[in-house]
Amino acid sequence: MIIETQKDVTAAVLSELQRAPDARFKEIMSAFVRHLHDFVRETKLTEEEFHAAIGYVIGRKAEVPPGTSVCIDLRGPMSHRWDVEVTDRARVVDWRKGEPTLTITMPGATFCRVVGGRRAWDHPWVRSATVVEGDHDLAAQVLANLTFMI
C-alpha cells in the first residue's frame, strides 16, 4: 500500500492487524488504532512534540548517560532519522559532530510496531529486522523503553 495521506496510515495499520489470529485482539487493537490516530489528527500533534517525547524516552526512561548520542534510523516507506544527544537532558538535534555512540536502524513499520506495543523489542521478528551499531546493552535499554511513547 502506498501511503499518501494521514488516513492511509490508519488503513495500513488496520490492514496489518487483520493478520492477527485472535479475533478479540483484532477488535480491541483496531479500535485502539482508530482512536489513537484520530486523536493525533484532532490534536495536530507536531513533529516538535514528538521530538520532545523521543528525547524524554531516550534520556529519562532508557537512562542513556550524558555524553551519549543515539541515532534512530528508520528505513523503507516511512524513513526518518532522529539524532538525539544527551547532555543535562536528551534532545533531538539537527546536526551532530562525529559518529553517534549508538545507531539503531530498522524499518519504519517495525518501529511503529515496537512503539505501539505490537511487538516486544526482543521478539525474534524485531531482532532480525533491527541493526545495532555500538553498545548492544544500551540499545536494549532504548528499545525496551520505546513502548512508553504511546
Q: Which long-range contacts (CB under 8 A, 24 or more apart) does 132-137 make?
A: 132/102, 132/103, 132/104, 132/105, 133/102, 133/103, 133/105, 134/100, 134/101, 134/102, 134/103, 135/101, 135/102
Confidence tier at 118 by pLDDT (50, 70, 90): low
Average pLDDT over residues 91-97: 80
Chain-wide mean pLDDT for the chain? 84
Q: What is the pTM of this model?
A: 0.70
Strand partners for 74: 80, 106
> Is the pLDDT score of 149 beyond 60?
no
Q: So what's the pLDDT on residue 60?
A: 85
Domain ranges of the chain: 6-43, 47-149
Superfamily of the domain at 47-149: SCP2 sterol-binding domain (3.30.1050.10)
Tell me: the pLDDT tens digits for 46-93?
878 877 788 888 888 888 999 999 999 998 877 888 999 999 888 888
Average pLDDT over residues 105-127: 81
